[in-house]
Amino acid sequence: MKKESKYLFIIAGFFLGFSPLNEPHLFGKINWVIGGAVEMKLMDWLDLVMHGLAILIAVGVTISLIFPSKKNQKSK
């Protein structure tokens, strides 16, 4: 994957993970789960997974840029 594509994944991942910007859904869903997940529906769980995975992917790509693997260093 090109380095420019990785930057796009990082920007998109953090944007999707922390949207909407005033109070991110992810924080609300995490607080809901900590509170016992009372009356959480399937849509709420999918929303939690979607926002959470976007951030996890962005963090993973960021880490791969900071600490490139030996395989990636040989191909440059």
| Other CB atoms within 10 Å distance of the CB of residue 13 | 21
CA distance 76 to 59: 23
CB 11 within 8 A of CB 61: no
Which tens digits make up the pLDDT trace of 17-29?
888 878 888 888 8
CB 12 within 8 A of CB 54: yes
**The two three-digit tokens of residue 24, written as one number:** 């991110």
The count of domains in the chain is 1
Which tens digits make up the pLDDT trace of 19-56?
887 888 888 888 889 988 888 899 989 988 988 898 89
30 vs 74: which has the higher pLDDT:
30
Question: Domain residues for 20?
Answer: 3-74
